[in-house]
Amino acid sequence: APAPAAADPKLGFNAVAKDLADRVTVPAGYTATVIYATGDSIDPAVTDYKNDGSDDNFGRRSGDHHDGMHYFGLDAGGKPTLTSNDRALMAINHEAINGTVVFMHASGQTNAGSSAGPRPEAEALKEVEAHGASVVEIAKSGGKFAVVRNSAFNRRITPRTPMSFGGPARGSALLKTKYSPAGTDTRGMIGNCASGYTPWGTYLTCEENFAGFFRRGGADDAARTAKELVAFKRIGLAQGAGGGQRWATVVPVDGTSTEYARWDTSKLGASTDGTDDFRNTVNTFGWVVEIDPYDPTSTPVKHTGLGRFAHEGAWPSNPVVGKPLAFYMGDDSRSEYVYKYVSKAVWDAADANPADRLATGAKYLDDGTLYAAKFNADGTGTWLRLDLSNPAISGNGTYAFADLADVLVNARLAADAAGATKCDRPEWTAVNPKNGEIYITMTENPDRGSVGTTSSNNVSNPDVEPAFPRYWLDNKGVSTQNASATTLKGNVNGQVMRIRETGNDASATTFNWDIYLFGSQAKADAGLDDVNYQKNVNLSGLSDFNDLSKPDGCWFSRASGILWIQTDDNAYTDVSNCMLLAAVPGQWGDGGKIDVVNQANGKPGAAGTGPVTVTTYAGKKMNDTIFKRFLTAPLGAEVTGLAESPDGKALFINIQHPGENTAAANIADPSKYESHWPGNGAGVAAYGPGGATARPRSATVMITKDDGGVIGL
Ligand code: FEO
Ligand code: CA
Ligand code: CA
Ligand code: CA
């Protein structure tokens, strides 16, 4: 990789305005180009995408809902390299399909409703295969990348792709299924949200909202052990859950396939050892999966040592020869935890380009220790060890962990027992290549402070934590999304936190933290709504150049040193569509401790007439020289995924689910689609058929600078 810049980068573009149009905007002097959209063929034998929902064979097309991704350089001979700026394999996650209108079918979904009949197999097959990940070759000519449709590297990995387990839970009773009675293998991956990569040249893809894909029958509780019930409750899979797209209702044409039946985790066979039924199938999802993008015949590996939860992403520490590697991970649900995995093996520079990448993966990812973070009030923190050597886990009364496999399969329960800090939905983590500091997006938590209720995962909602100071005082005045709110709303705009490991050692068990940035609407402090709650909301001093809500993606460019931040807020669209912003990382501690806030009136320094007073931490003050908006998205879309060519002259992002708010009943009427992007050519060259009436598609977008320079500088 190129050496990081010597100093903080200087942002060299003019901020784009907030935008509510169905288009992509980028700064003057930049061009956005779509290179890979839902339904694109990756095989010359598979037909071009048509704008009518008739395409099948999604096992050889782009999946839907592009999310995390990574650029893997290829040299002229097709070998891995970190220095190629004109040829690469792009690994891209396909997290989900639309929950409202499903544009990949001609007339939307058949029998989508909870009380409808069986789903047609052909529709379900398309939907299943639209999940997972792509590995596609891209090559540059004339200054722009395009997908190489006939590349032998092109591959779709889907919920049907055979995978193996690695790590301590491999072979565990909890992973034994009809598909793999030995509990060593499994079939496919689901809900692949954000991503990661390894220093040995493989892709990490992370299963997030896996539980929602499963049906649980209305009487399943009675067939389960007490421990199973605790485990189901903790992943939010309630008895009676209908299971997402209801794939389990498919009656397969061959009469014997378990392809669909497995999505009903309450289908219990005669045997109770897990080998004759689907009781454990849900345990085979929720992992970090390693893929070797350079070997299209390789079998992906689910590394159980990194724990099972709603994984957002898994990003490595900066490798140091002779020291362990760490991977930082968020569990993206309200009131969940930040985790890190530390390898037992220490980094050997000879592993940077190994002959057997997945064997190297086993070396670093299958023997190590999982930790969860505790954020203390004084700005320090502790990594709590999640194994049976921790007496809080071995002696836990809520759930009697049988062994390490049980701890890893039920990592949330282990982190509960250990006493980790409930966070405001931890999403991406980004490690600063210059100094190893870790940035973490905490996207939102409206439940923060609403003590006594329970979250979707049945965790008792947290009261105020010093690391999460925005609770009900931010109820009003944050965005017009809350203008009519009469109840307390917690942290609705999110924040970006920062961790610095003690001694800059990724294997340290203690750290310091601060808050880098608070999301807010710029005019919140100008008295947007309610006079009682208008102050102390825009804590980072955001302006119209950089105000944002619900930070999600965050990622460092190694070429420019810019920290890129992306948003996913479908409520902030009264203010702007989602966006990509560029930030200068700044110095440790510049988001310092500020004030004591009275919970009764939300005002700094006031006497404690409310239930409690708490110390809050200021975000860094973000003027438009160090933080500004670079891109806005089409209607209904989130901005996610970040990758670059090593020279920093091509930046890639994903536009996820444009038009997702279209009503299912309107699929036959393009005039009622929320979005027609990218077929409408709005902000990009028109991509694919359909023009102004195109069906909307998720897509990977390449951003280039018209003068050929590094993006953002
Ligand atoms: Fe799939 Fe947490 O975003
Ligand atoms: Ca995300
Ligand atoms: Ca999100
Ligand atoms: Ca999304």
Q: How far is CA 542 from CA 538, 568, 620, 645, in A?
A: 6, 18, 10, 30
Tell me, using a 6 A CB cutoff, whether residue 332 lines ligand 1.
Answer: yes
Distance from the alpha carbon of residue 428 to the mean position of ligand 2, in angstroms:
7
Is pLDDT of 478 > 50?
no
Q: What are all long-range contacts of 279-284, with beta carbons under 8 Å and residues at least 24 apart?
A: 279/224, 279/228, 280/174, 280/175, 280/176, 280/177, 281/177, 281/214, 282/210, 282/211, 282/214, 282/235, 282/237, 283/174, 283/175, 283/308, 283/409, 284/175, 284/177, 284/186, 284/187
> Using CA atoms, how far apart are residues 491 and 475, in angstroms rounded to an integer?
8
> Residue 69 pLDDT more than 60?
yes
- The tokens describing 3, both together, are 């050496």
pLDDT > 70: percent of the chain: 87
Q: What is the position in ligand 1's atom list of the atom closest to the CA of 332?
A: 2
Distance 285 CA to ligand 4 centre (A): 19
Judge whether residue 629 has pLDDT over 50: yes
**How do residues 232-288 score in pLDDT, each as one tens digit?**
999 999 999 999 999 999 988 877 677 898 999 988 776 655 666 899 999 999 999
Could you tell me which of 231, 346, 344 has the C-alpha nearest to residue 279?
231
Q: Which residues pair with 512 in a beta bridge?
A: 380, 500
Q: State which residues have CB under 5 angstroms from ligand 2, the bound ion.
A: 427, 552
* CA trace torsion 226, 227, 231, 234 (10° rounding): 70
Q: Quick check: 608 pLDDT over 50?
A: no
Structure tokens at 490: 């917690």
User: Does residue 312 have its Cβ closer than 6 Å to ligand 1?
Assistant: yes
Average pLDDT score, the chain = 89
DSSP 594-645: EEEEETTT--BT----SS-EEEEEPPPP--TTTEEEEEE--TT-EEEEEEE-
User: Is there a contact between 95 and 67 (Cβ–Cβ < 8 Å)?
Assistant: yes
Q: How far is the CA of 573 from the centre of ligand 4 (A)?
A: 14
DSSP structural state of residue 173 = G
Considering only CA atoms, which residue is closest to atom 3 of ligand 1? 193
Position 461 pLDDT exceeds 80: no
Gap from CA of 706 to ligand 3 centroid (Å): 31
296 CA to middle of ligand 4, Å?
27
Average pLDDT of span 378-403: 96
The mean-pLDDT minimum among 482-486, 537-541, 578-582, 601-605 falls in 482-486
- Residue whose structure tokens are 């009136």: 601
Would the pTM count as exceeding 0.90? yes
Quick: pLDDT tens for 630-666: 999 999 999 999 999 999 999 999 999 999 999 999 9
Cβ of residue 208 lying under 6 Å from some atom of ligand 1: yes
Q: Distance (Å, rounded) from C-alpha 604 to C-alpha 614?
A: 10
- Residue with the two structure tokens 């670059």: 644
**Strand 162-166 to 301-303 pairing:** parallel
CA distance 268 to 378: 50
Residues facing residue 514 across a β-bridge: 498
CB atoms within 10 A of CB 41: 18
Residue 555 CB contacts under 8 Å (≥ 6 apart), including other chains: 428, 430, 563, 564, 642
Please tell me the number of the ligand nearest to residue 655's CA.
4
Confidence at residue 275, expressed as pLDDT on a 0 to 100 scale: 60
Task: Give Cα 696 distance to the centre of its chain.
Answer: 22
- Ligand 3 geometric centre to CA of 594 (Å): 28
Least confident of 95-104, 344-353, 598-607, 640-649: 598-607
**628-640: string of b/e by CB count within 10 Å (b at 16+)?**
bbbbbbbbbbbbb
- Helix crossing, 411-418 with 226-235: angle to 10°? 90
Nearest CA to ligand 1 atom 1: 193
Place of tokens 């947290």: 462
- pLDDT-derived band of residue 455, with 50, 70 and 90 as boundaries? low
* CA 446 – CA 475 distance, rounded (Å): 9
Sign of the C-alpha dihedral, residues 563, 568, 572, 575? Answer: positive
Confidence (pLDDT) at 462: 62
**Which of the two residues, 342 and 447, has the higher pLDDT score?**
342
pLDDT category, 474, cuts 50, 70, 90?
Answer: very low
Q: Which residue has the higher pLDDT, 106 or 480?
A: 106
Q: Which atom of ligand 1 is nearest to the CA of 209?
A: 1
**Ligand number nearest to the C-alpha of 191:** 1
Instruction: Specify the ligand 1 atom closest to the Cα of 312.
Output: 2
**Which atom of ligand 1 is least distant from the CA of 208?**
1
Span from the CA of 657 to the centroid of ligand 4 (angstroms): 7
CA dist 385 and 508 (Å) reads: 11
Nearest atom in ligand 1 to the alpha carbon of residue 425 is 2
Nearest-atom index, ligand 1, CA of 96: 1
CA neighbor of 24 nearest in space, from 627, 693, 680, 570? 680
Distance from Cα 570 to the centre of ligand 4, integer Å: 9
pLDDT value of position 453: 56
Range scoring the smallest mean pLDDT among 249-258, 410-419, 497-506: 249-258
Point out which residues pair with 565 in neighbouring strands: 554, 581
Find the angle CA(492)-CA(497)-CA(502) to the nearest 5 degrees: 155
So what's the pLDDT on residue 525?
Answer: 62
Tokens of 262: 């497995």
Rounded to whole angstroms, how far apart are CA atoms 20 and 181?
52
Segment 35-45 mean pLDDT: 98
What SS3 class is residue 296?
coil
Ligand 1 atom at shortest distance from the alpha carbon of 310: 2
Query: Which ligand lies nearest to the CA atom of residue 193 in the structure?
Result: 1
Q: Is the CB of 95 under 6 A from ligand 1?
A: yes
Separation of CA 143 and ligand 1 centre (Å): 32
Residue 124: strand, helix, or coil: helix
pLDDT bucket at 156, cuts 50 / 70 / 90: very high
Residue pair 695/51 in contact by the 8 Å Cβ criterion? yes
Q: Which long-range contacts (CB under 8 A, 24 or more apart) does 536-539 make?
A: 536/473, 536/595, 536/597, 536/602, 536/603, 536/604, 537/473, 537/474, 537/477, 537/478, 539/616, 539/618, 539/619
Full DSSP string of 210-268: GGGG-B--TTGGGGS-HHHHHHHHHHT--TT-B-TT-GGG---TTS---TTGGGBTT--
